[in-house]
Amino acid sequence: MLFDLRIEDKVCVPKAKGGLGVRSLVLFNKALLGKWLWRFGLEENNLWQRILVAKYGVELGGWRTNPIRGAHGCGLWKGILSSWDDYFQHVQFVVGQGNRACFWEDKWCGDFALKDRFPLLFTCSNNRGATIETVLLRSAAGGVDEWNVTFTHSFNDWEVEMVVEFFQVLSSVAVPNLVPDGLKWSCNKGGVFDSRSFYAALNNRPGVMFPWKCVWKVKASPRVSFFIWSAAWGKILTCDNLMRR
């Protein structure tokens, strides 16, 4: 059996995790195209967005088109939409009117959707597909809004604490009613999508903390640094490795 000297799997890993930090073209292309997913949900009045909606239809909330199942004639948008799951897991909703955000399925009151945070309550809910607007009873000026969330059965004594926590989470979120629903990007502090942070999220691979500054920040030629890096991963033909060959 030959000793494997290949290190392709570490080329695109960040230097801090023991890689070379070379940008993956596949992931970088996906990160660049992600801006169109972000813009689609926010630019309702733009011509390009309306053309896509007219051609493919739109899902509840209007954040993306319906899934594209045709094999021909729709390669560009179909390719962009294929990154939806990777993109959407880093999106949170900023609720205003509440007509474009799903109460249970979207992340709008924390880092997790309510259906994931309270799965038992979700399974026995009467309105699983409801928007926030349909379950929030708006009060008159100066009053207190009420949540009209109903369930299929009454709860047992040992479940009351979970129900109380559920409504405490709801009451901790202020929901204005004058502004449209919006999006917040969770991969940076500004909350606005950018390709750089999306690429970092896509390339967030598991790895060890590597003393990369001792390898790449020293006053030595790149050839020497690369030799040290290769030796650190055991990919140099030392006597031990030659014996394994």
Q: Is 34 exposed, middle or buried (0-12, 13-18, 19+ CB in 10 A)?
A: buried
- Flag the least confident range among 129-133, 162-166, 238-242: 238-242
Output the average pLDDT for the chain.
85
Query: Which pLDDT tens digit goes with each residue over 103-141?
Result: 999 999 888 899 999 999 999 999 898 999 999 888 776
Sorted by where each begins, the domain ranges of the chain are 8-22+209-244, 25-86, 91-185
Distances (CA, A) of 222 to 9, 10, 15, 20, 228: 20, 17, 14, 12, 10
**Amino acid (1-letter code) at residue 220:** A
Query: Which pLDDT tens digit goes with each residue over 3-35?
Result: 454 566 777 888 878 778 788 899 999 999 999
Out of 28-32, 148-152, 153-157, the most confident range is: 28-32
pLDDT over threshold 80, residue 245: no
Structure confidence at residue 162 as a pLDDT band (50, 70, 90): very high
Give the DSSP letter string of 176-215.
Answer: -SSSPPEEEETTSSS-S--HHHHHHHHT--------HHHH
Which whole number is the average pLDDT over 134-161?
84
Is the pTM higher than 0.85? The answer reads no
CA–CA separation, 123 and 151 (whole Å): 9
Query: 3-state SS of the chain: helix, strand, coil percent to 5?
Result: 40, 5, 50
